[in-house]
Amino acid sequence: ANVFKMGWTGSNERTFISVKPDGVQRRLVGEIVHRFERKGFKLVGMKLLQASAEQLREHYRDLSEKPFYSSLVKYMSSGPIVVMAWQGHDVVKSARKMLGETNPADSLPGTIRGDFCVEVSRNVVHGSDSVESAQREISLWFEHHELLCWEECSQPWIYA
Ligand code: GDP
Ligand code: MG
């Protein structure tokens, strides 16, 4: 079965979350993972890696015309990042809410960007903006075998 394409709806929806180089350097990996775990989402893939400029140009290809594109690629390749796939009902939209706005200055306290950063060019975390982007990003950063389907014992306590 194609793990990237099957069952991307309901409680099987998936999103791509990444702790950016500043988030890793500032020891926010545990904090960010903790927030998604506590919320009730299921971790289905996670790894620490050094992203190449090529991968990042592809990841951010929709922004290639922006003036900050090359500095964004440089920032994102400046150190290790943690890439994750999280699964759950409406996870794409919920994760964006948990992250806050693109610009930390517009992000409410209680969101990750609202709580842990100041500048848009150092906003510690990435989250997919749609189910289609999530699908594209997960297949860009993960191999099939790196994504796990597993039974969560807490499932009936999170979903009625
Ligand atoms: P996101 O989906 O909230 O991450 O925002 P975008 O997809 O619009 O932009 C991707 C990333 O580019 C953001 O998370 C920021 O790190 C960076 N970025 C966005 N806008 C700006 C900007 O105006 N200036 C700079 N330097 N970086 C930006
Ligand atoms: Mg985006």
Confidence (pLDDT) at 40: 98
- The pLDDT tens digits of the residues spanning 47-97 come to 999 999 999 999 999 999 999 999 999 999 999 999 999 999 999 999 999
**Is 126 one of the annotated active-site residues of the chain?**
yes
- The alpha carbon of 115 and the centre of ligand 2 are apart by a number of angstroms equal to 19
40: left (phi over 0), alpha (psi -120 to 50) or beta: left
Q: State whether the beta carbon of 121 lies less than 6 angstroms from ligand 1.
A: yes
Task: Give the nearest ligand 1 atom to 96 CA.
Answer: 3
φ, ψ for residue 154, nearest 5 deg:
-85, -5
Give the mean model confidence (pLDDT) for residues 36-43. 98
Confidence band of 1 (pLDDT split at 50, 70, 90)? very low
Confidence (pLDDT) at 9: 76
Nearest to 134 by CA among 101, 98, 92: 92
Neighbours of 135 (CB within 10 A): 18
Q: Where are the beta strands (DSSP E) in 51-150?
A: 81-87, 125-127
Residues 81/19, Cβ–Cβ less than 8 Å: yes
| Whole-number average pLDDT of the chain | 95
Task: Give the nearest ligand 1 atom to 75 CA.
Answer: 16
68 marked among binding-site residues:
yes
d(CA 25, CA 21): 6
107 vs 44, 66, 117, 119, 140, CA distance in Å? Answer: 27, 22, 9, 11, 28
Confidence band of 5 (pLDDT split at 50, 70, 90)? low
Catalytic residue, chosen from 34, 59, 89, 126, is: 126
Per the DSSP assignment, residues forming a β-bridge with 130 are: none
pTM above 0.80, yes or no: yes
Confidence (pLDDT) at 104: 98
Residue 7 above 90 pLDDT? Answer: no
| Tokens coding 46 | 């996670």
Q: State whether the beta carbon of 126 lies less than 6 angstroms from ligand 1.
A: yes
